[in-house]
Copies of this chain bind each other. A is one copy, B any other.
Amino acid sequence: MKKLYFLFCLSVVLACVSVASAQKKNFAIEELVSPRLRPTAIWDLTWRAKTDFVTYTDNATGNLMLRNAQNGQESILIKSGELDNQLPQGVSSLSKGVYFVQWQNDQSLVFSHDNRLFEYNTNAKKLKQIAFSPENAANHDQSSAQHWAFTVDENLWVCPQNATEPIAITQDGNRDLVYGQSVHRNEFGIVKGTFWSPDGQKLAFYRMDQKMVTDYPLTSYSTVPAQNAPTKYPMAGQASHHVTVGVWNTANKQTVYLKTEGPSDQYLTNISWSADNKSVFIAVLNRDQNAMQLNQYDAATGNFIKTLFEEKNERYVEPEHGLLFLPNNPNQFIWQSERDGFNHLYLYQIDGTLVKQLTKGAWLVNEILGFDVKGEELFYTSSQVSPLEKHAYSLNLKTNKTTQLTAESGTHDVQLSHSGKYLIDNYSSRQKPRCIQLVDIVKKKTTTTVLDAPNPLEAYDVPSIEFLKLKAEDNTDLYCRMLKPTNFEQGKKYPVMFYVYGGPHAQMNTETWLGGADMFMLYMAQQGYVVFTLDNRGSANRGFDFESIIHRQLGEVEKKDQLKGIDFLKQQTFVDASRIGVFGWSFGGFMTTNLLLNYPDVFKAGVAGGSVMDWSMYEIMYGERYMDRPEQNPAGYAQNNLVKAASKLKKRLLLIHGLQDDVVLPQHTDAFINECIKNGVLVDFFPYPNHAHNVRGAERAHLWKKIFRFFEDFVKPL
């Protein structure tokens, strides 16, 4: 549930600290969405190519700053607005800074602005426009040869360097046939639809034929009368789209389609180029998602060359990472796989022969950071220290020697410098809003601190945020987070907001700022609630067995694990077990409704937003991975079909849904409401007519108000 998780994350707006004080104030509910209360960030922080310098935009001035990782020396590289006089006529000012620069080499940076791609030479101080696109272009992707690919509506275009006109690679795109965009509803690690070869001379791209995919009739309320705004939605068990991969050649301007034979509803995932620009690799996954073949295709002819290897699993295989070729050996690549139970790294020959497993253990690799300049040291982050933390490591490919590179307890987002000698270490922890340091790997020391963000909640009364470890019925560790009410008094009993997500690919409790808690949770603690969250089996970052136990029975194990949290709460003298309200969104809405229906003696009331109510109405890619197709698993679909169970509802339930939701369709909530009506059961509902799978922006404060009032009305009263 990449998508659900992704959107969930957006909802988890950051902020806070664990020392309460009597003089400190509470939040106004409208403040919860304020950027002021989030830790300061630095935009655009990146390594200058082939150097050990970083560049970034200064928040205050908009200047592009340069800093030496070796000694921390800082200077202005480009003053805000400095390039304005070199801009073509009619292009808007750059005075707000040059954002999201990409370094081509140590003196050439590239950035896009006003539908144009610019290159700036820092030595010559010369700016030039190298490509352009129409105003309605999207999905821009720039090649190393300075070609700019983009989509216009459903067609794919490219603007070669210094061309006077862009070239249409495809022309027959429409709602039913989409080129150059992400496919398979962003599952399998797919986030884009264009893939330049390393030399920038060939462009692999997705073609998605979705004429056989049913429309769901969303309605847009932005006009009077409202308008039909249908969205293609492939529902579990129904017809899926047909994806193929084309390769367009900048030299002859021709497209060749790869001969990806097999059923039209298979998944073409993790497109990768060989280092010699001649082959394209695709992790081809069957619709059942239990068998993957890593296939090689000839980029010039489209011919299938060979299957390097297969991966199978009775539950599911979920490839999410492409091939990464060694910089010093184009015939070897690193492959990530969960095949031994945890996501680990494997070194392969290009012919498909396994050289060796590089990492191993009851922890998982989060991401590969890169190599040193010689290609001898591999850098990655992993959960080895704790499932709650993320640290960076280096691994010598020859000696297998592993070195931990980050020390501070917390979650480290790391970028490796060109030389492999320095890291940008951007980390946070429950106590640390955000710290960005440049680290000398060899000397194991911080050379300079780019940002040590002040506590944005300094003026506020912030609850204590505790982590706990409970045991599942099979003795598995389950991590929990508990916020106690501010102004906590011994001997008093408090109501609970039991917050649940519970779905795969997400982890609520992490050693990050506020422990992953969002501002609304802090608010509720200020309002006198205990706020509790448990990451059940099925959630992320704990390995394949932990996550995949939910297979064919979504909701079943998750419920049991959540009840362990309830058992814990009931034992706490400060908890009033008769006043536990549950709240969740998306998969968490499914969990909330499920818990409330099945444990009316435990929960007093619930708020479920954007909830899946019947997995047969959820999308094919995510849904069938966990549940198989409805006809393959009728019992599993029936077991936690909440629509069918709606008549069991005994407690107050507030359902919320964005009427533009194209992830969890509004029909989930409508069907549940209808079943309630049919059975004479009362339920509450609130729609956000202009919002999709989540309530974003300033209007999110309205959502918090709504949920808070519901808790005050129906959970808090004794």
Residues of A within 8 A of B (CB): 30, 214-217, 219, 221, 224-228, 230, 233, 235, 616-617, 659, 665, 667, 670-671, 673-674, 676-678, 680, 682, 684-690, 699, 701-702, 705-706, 709, 713
Please name 20 pairs of A and B residues whose Cβ atoms are closer than 8 Å in the assembled complex, sorted by A: A215-B228, A217-B225, A217-B228, A219-B219, A221-B667, A221-B671, A224-B235, A224-B617, A224-B667, A225-B617, A225-B665, A228-B228, A659-B670, A670-B687, A673-B689, A677-B688, A677-B699, A680-B701, A684-B686, A685-B687
Give the oligomeric copy count: 2
Q: Are B682 and A221 in contact (CB under 8 A)?
A: no
In the assembly, what is the distance between CA of A617 and CA of B233, in Å? Answer: 31
Q: Are A30 and B217 in contact (CB under 8 A)?
A: no
Q: Are A226 and B687 in contact (CB under 8 A)?
A: no
Q: Would A228 and B230 be within 8 Å (CB), given that A219-B219, A221-B674, A677-B699 are in contact? A: yes
What's the nearest-Cβ distance from chain B to residue A604, in Å? 15
Q: Are A702 and B677 in contact (CB under 8 A)?
A: yes
In the assembly, what is the distance between CA of A682 and CA of B227, in Å? Answer: 26
Return the 9 tightest CB-CB contacts between A and B, nearest first. A217-B228, A670-B689, A216-B225, A677-B702, A217-B219, A226-B667, A221-B670, A674-B689, A677-B699
Q: Which residues of B have CB within 8 Å of A671?
A: 221, 224
Q: Which residues of B have CB within 8 Å of A687?
A: 670, 673, 685, 687
Q: Are B682 and A709 in contact (CB under 8 A)?
A: yes
Q: Which residues of B have CB within 8 Å of A617?
A: 224-225
Secondary structure at chain A's binding surface: helix, strand, loop or mixed? mixed
What's the nearest-Cβ distance from chain B to residue A546, in Å? 32
What's the nearest-Cβ distance from chain B to residue A56, in Å? 35
Q: Are B216 and A226 in contact (CB under 8 A)?
A: yes
In the assembly, what is the distance between CA of A214 and CA of B709, in Å? Answer: 39
The winner among A225, A665, A674, A705 for most chain B CB atoms within 10 A is A225
In the assembly, what is the distance between CA of A193 and CA of B678, in Å? Answer: 35
Q: Which residues of B have CB within 8 Å of A713?
A: 713
A214 closest partner in B (C-beta): B225
Q: Are A225 and B667 in contact (CB under 8 A)?
A: yes
Q: Which residues of B have CB within 8 Å of A677?
A: 688-690, 699, 702
What's the nearest-Cβ distance from chain B to residue A637, in Å? 13
A676 closest partner in B (C-beta): B702
In the assembly, what is the distance between CA of A215 and CA of B217, in Å? Answer: 14
A665 closest partner in B (C-beta): B225
In the assembly, what is the distance between CA of A212 and CA of B677, in Å? Answer: 37
Q: Would A682 and B667 be within 8 Å (CB), given that A221-B674, A233-B225, A235-B225 are in contact? A: no
Q: Are B705 and A682 in contact (CB under 8 A)?
A: yes
In the assembly, what is the distance between CA of A236 and CA of B241, in Å? Answer: 42
Q: Which residues of B have CB within 8 Å of A219?
A: 217, 219
In the assembly, what is the distance between CA of A488 and CA of B113, in Å? Answer: 75
Checking B616, B670, B699 against A226 with a beta-carbon cut-off of 8 angstroms, the contacting residue is B670
Checking B30, B659, B680, B702 against A705 with a beta-carbon cut-off of 8 angstroms, the contacting residue is B680
In the assembly, what is the distance between CA of A671 and CA of B616, in Å? Answer: 31
Q: Are A685 and B685 in contact (CB under 8 A)?
A: yes
A714 closest partner in B (C-beta): B713
Q: Would A685 and B682 be within 8 Å (CB), given that A217-B217, A617-B224 are in contact? A: no
Q: Which residues of B have CB within 8 Å of A676?
A: 702
Q: Which residues of B have CB within 8 Å of A705?
A: 680, 682
Q: Which residues of B have CB within 8 Å of A706?
A: 682
Q: Are B224 and A217 in contact (CB under 8 A)?
A: no
Q: Which residues of B have CB within 8 Å of A215?
A: 225, 228
Q: Which residues of B have CB within 8 Å of A682?
A: 702, 705-706, 709
Q: Are B665 and A678 in contact (CB under 8 A)?
A: no
What's the nearest-Cβ distance from chain B to residue A609, in Å? 14
Q: Are A674 and B686 in contact (CB under 8 A)?
A: no
In the assembly, what is the distance between CA of A227 and CA of B219, in Å? Answer: 11
Q: Are B221 and A227 in contact (CB under 8 A)?
A: no
What's the nearest-Cβ distance from chain B to residue A653, in Å? 12
**What 6 new A-B contacts, CB under 8 Å, besides A673-B687, A676-B702, A684-B684?**
A217-B217, A217-B226, A217-B227, A225-B617, A677-B689, A685-B685
In the assembly, what is the distance between CA of A716 and CA of B309, in Å? Answer: 71
